[in-house]
Structure 1
Amino acid sequence: MKKVIVIGAGIAGIASAIRMACKGFEVTVLESNSYPGGKLSEFQLHGYRFDAGPSLFTLPEQVEELFRLAGKNPSDYFQYTKLPVACHYFWEDGKRVHAYADLEKFAEEVETQLGEPKANIRQALQKSSFIYEHLAPLFMHRSLHRWQTWLNAQALKCYLKLGKLGIFSTMHKANQAQFKQEKTVQLFNRYATYNGSNPYETPATLNIIPHLEFNIGAYFPNKGMFDITNSLYKLAKNLGVHFIFNTKVEEVMVEGKRVNGVKTEDKTYPATIVINNMDMVNAYKTILRKQKQPEKLLNQPKSSSALIFYWGIKREFKELDLHNILFSENYQEEFDHIFNKGSIYEDPTVYINITSVYKKDDAPEGCMNWFTMINVPNNQGQDWDHMITDAKKAIIQKINRILQTDIEPLIEVEQILEPRTIESKTSSANGALYGNSSNNRYAAFLRHANFSSDIANLYFVGGSVHPGGGIPLCLLSAKIMGDMVK
């Protein structure tokens, strides 16, 4: 059988391995860490379980498709629940909004709490659905680097609607024109952070994202987010995929403009096909350093990063749900600090993810596991130790003000993840969570293709290449790649 090497056991790497195994290839996955999943991993800390990375689950059919591809019934291996409330939103003035999955209930909630007419919410979600209908088949399910993508009926349909797809406006301007209340604008601007972007610069096409969360739905895997990784990892092994951990690839071997394997420190692995799931920028700097460098792509600005405090909290807060947002008073200033000043704003927006709301054994009885995160700049050599200390104080003060509590004495365990450790653990360039930034209208075209145009049988998957970051897009990158391999 022809051999395939997958570099990296992130979610896109595992999905790629499954797709190649289903095509009849002999597949080996090489992973530098001791565990699968990359960012989508988990850890235990003194009786608390934490999902380490992505916390939002949408488009579950992308996971289910892999089981069906292997001839399995997805529900026999992976179960999940649709969330009745996507998120709880909090503001300093006491305003609170429950983002109900029921669209009419959500529209009524926003009108009651924020004074935003229900009709504006309905219209915004209809526009989001319109953008998805026209752009998803092109930008999410196809390679942008093949002429066939642009010469078909679906592409023509898009060309005729360009003015309505948000390409010529920013997310913020589009939301400002749509809504009457600044808090509603802020709520919908938040979706730019789903791929590490700035709503004041990123194109309004990113208003596609609310469609995923509201019109389709947000979900929670019954065993936690890591079960996405774990269930697919088990499927891959059942299909005969061989995983080798604690093994760092040193070089992709190329002969005559064609891959013929990879080298590690002590071994050579021959292969007909090599699939790179490592961050594209760091891959070219290391394992592809001898090959032609795509300088324009490598030099693009990077997305934002994250500062996460994993806290074991010795109390339950009934007002908190699975997903919670405590908004900054000055959203634009916060993003200016992240993207222009390379620093952390003194009043950051705080995201708290609490899986123990749905999975009780993730925390001891009467306690909660808080994944407490703020968006921060990627690593450019800042004084992170000082910035993290100041940010923790600001986060605690904000939580205390909004929840009317004293949270610090309730923190019994703590672990921190920040841009430097994100880069060291996941090989993400500068610790950026989503690869290159999406802060201009051409960003979709400034991601690396899912194949190499210079080296035959070398493919790329994961959040740093097309179509982008986040679980659904990483899985789709594997699908796009798999469709190219006959």
Structure 2
Amino acid sequence: MKQKSIIIGAGIAGIAAAIRLAVKGYLVDVYEANSYPGGKLSEITLKGYRFDAGPSLFTLPEQVEELFLLAGKNPSDHFEYSKLDVACHYFWEDGKSIKAYGDVNAFAEEVNTKLGEPSENIRKALRSSAYIYEHLAPLFMHRSLHQWNTWVNPQALRSYLKMGKLGIFETMNAANERLFQQDKTVQLFNRYATYNGSNPYETPATLNIIPHLEFNIGAFFPKKGMHDITQSLYQLALDLGVRFHFNAKVEEILVENDQAVGIKVNQNEVKSDLVINNMDMVNAYKTILKKQKQPKKLLEQPKSSSALIFYWGIKKVFPELDLHNILFSDDYKEEFHHIFEKNAIYQDPTVYINITSVHKKDDAPEECMNWFTMINVPNNQGQDWDVLIKEARKNIISKINRILKTDLEPLIEVEQILEPRTIESKTSSANGALYGNSSNNKYAAFLRHANYSSKLKKLYFCGGSVHPGGGIPLCLLSAKIMTELIKK
């Protein structure tokens, strides 16, 4: 007789966990509070425009492909993507701009020509990033940090001897200032701290692992948009017999004799042999696990940054813009000081514009573009968001006008906003933080919740708020680590 498992939350990690458990022979039921799967990795349609609502950068596509292979399917029959020739287009207020080409040598020459940074510095930075990845990815990304065999295997022991070279003991900014000659190059590489909602002036240089993913391995784009990651994996889960229950907000994880035995949903008790929580860890303990012993130190950790996103339908095509675009602040350090120290939004924020219609033409009407326009903001601490959003919108449009030499306001024909309060209400992310606890100290990797409960048997965790962290690849890996622990 097959064992039963319940997954709370149909975020991308929850879907991946459902696929892995179904392949292992479990009966899987997924309970989701929203009416749709994917969590943050969803989509919005507005009057002829389509927007990927959440994560917009796609790296490590093999993590998606692996799930199809596990199910005995050819990934390319169900999910297609292509490698980007240009990872991102960067702009500054002084008129300078560069294209971050996917080819490392082309990127190095571009930075040298446009910014005056020696090409070899770029190559050296990316070799260093690859080195960090080589020694830390097997340890931190693919294994549980909460099992002794992670720390005593030969690969881990070799990594201990190289900790000084892995960026543990200095900040990302300090490492980048030491390596690069030009302030703009430092700023460009400091930006990778934002990929998990951190501050480059505080987070360890270990996070310089991220450029390796984007340049040495590559940045990609799903041919049907980012939401196709959700849709293709959701369909795979259905094909494997996974049952999804939408508009089904779990009220409690049922516990008997220190063991998770099921859930309470819609006033009904549903029993199972395993319970997997894909809900944000902090909000899970505050709600569905509120009767259980609380991991206070974890719950009190500072949270990552959040986001303010304007989904704009733009009645014009800007040929100078690519899929990913960054309009940098003139004072990056002050911008992060506002986010993490003042819990406010700097008047000159760095603006990210994602335009999927560059590659997927039907995402916008003819001669139009779909702008996913985002800035990093603090998580929700009770600020007056209505005032902050109004002021930020004005500053964002002013910055775009200056850099692109345009008048944007009359070109905006549709608009929808996502901000920390609605991020929290739609995705149960504590304080609207995008990545759970922040990584603004060198011990942050060790301060994430394990992929299992140390107090309650048969209770497991996956998703961006637990190990190994936030972002699509790490969420998928959290599901992998978690199911491997179940096997053990």
Amino acid at match of 1:406: D
Amino acid at match of 2:399: K
TM-score (ref. length: structure 1): 1.00
Structure 2: gaps of 5 or more residues: none
Distance in 2 separating the partners of 1:355 and 1:426: 23
Distance in 1 separating the partners of 2:134 and 2:248: 42
Which residue number corresponds to residue 413 of structure 2? 412
1:181 shift after superposition:
0.1
Which residue number corresponds to residue 386 of structure 2? 385
Matched residue SS, 1:274: strand
1:11 shift after superposition:
0.0
1:19 shift after superposition:
0.4
For residues 417-432 of structure 1, what are the structure 2 equivalents within 5 Å?
A: 417-432=418-433
Where do 4+ consecutive residues of structure 1 move more than 3 Å? none
1:265 shift after superposition:
2.4
Matched residue SS, 1:341: coil
Which residue number corresponds to residue 278 of structure 1? 279
What do residues 17-67 of structure 1 show as CA deviations (whole Å, max 9, x unaligned)?
000000000000000000000000002100000100000000000000000
Which residue number corresponds to residue 225 of structure 1? 226
Distance in 2 separating the partners of 1:399 and 1:464: 33
Which residue number corresponds to residue 334 of structure 1? 335
Distance in 1 separating the partners of 2:154 and 2:216: 25
Distance in 1 separating the partners of 2:136 and 2:195: 17
Distance in 2 separating the partners of 1:69 and 1:427: 30
Amino acid at match of 1:142: R
Distance in 1 separating the partners of 2:207 and 2:260: 36
Amino acid at match of 1:234: Q
Residue identity over aligned pairs, in percent, reads 76
Amino acid at match of 1:192: A
Distance in 1 separating the partners of 2:154 and 2:87: 35
Distance in 1 separating the partners of 2:95 and 2:201: 25
Distance in 2 separating the partners of 1:461 and 1:318: 40
Matched residue SS, 1:12: helix
Distance in 2 separating the partners of 1:369 and 1:424: 25
1:179 shift after superposition:
0.1
1:266 shift after superposition:
2.6
Matched residue SS, 1:372: strand
Distance in 2 separating the partners of 1:445 and 1:100: 34
Distance in 2 separating the partners of 1:234 and 1:396: 39
Which residue number corresponds to residue 93 of structure 1? 94
Which residue number corresponds to residue 244 of structure 1? 245
1:66 aligned onto 2:67:
yes
Which residue number corresponds to residue 268 of structure 1? 269
1:255 aligned onto 2:256:
yes
Distance in 1 separating the partners of 2:381 and 2:267: 33
Distance in 2 separating the partners of 1:437 and 1:376: 13
Distance in 2 separating the partners of 1:485 and 1:19: 11
Matched residue SS, 2:341: helix
Amino acid at match of 1:340: E
TM-score (ref. length: structure 2): 0.99
Amino acid at match of 2:356: T
Amino acid at match of 2:290: R
Distance in 1 separating the partners of 2:287 and 2:436: 16
Distance in 2 separating the partners of 1:175 and 1:398: 26
Distance in 2 separating the partners of 1:383 and 1:174: 36
1:267 shift after superposition:
1.6
1:391 shift after superposition:
0.1
Distance in 2 separating the partners of 1:234 and 1:96: 41
Which residue number corresponds to residue 208 of structure 1? 209
Which residue number corresponds to residue 368 of structure 1? 369
Matched residue SS, 2:107: helix
Distance in 1 separating the partners of 2:318 and 2:454: 53
Distance in 1 separating the partners of 2:258 and 2:25: 24
For residues 63-462 of structure 1, what are the structure 2 equivalents within 5 Å?
A: 63-462=64-463
Matched residue SS, 1:485: helix
Distance in 2 separating the partners of 1:45 and 1:74: 30
What do residues 212-238 of structure 1 show as CA deviations (whole Å, max 9, x unaligned)?
000000000000000000000000000
Amino acid at match of 1:27: V
Amino acid at match of 2:20: R
What do residues 113-153 of structure 1 show as CA deviations (whole Å, max 9, x unaligned)?
00000010000000000000000000000000000000011
Matched residue SS, 2:7: strand
1:56 aligned onto 2:57:
yes
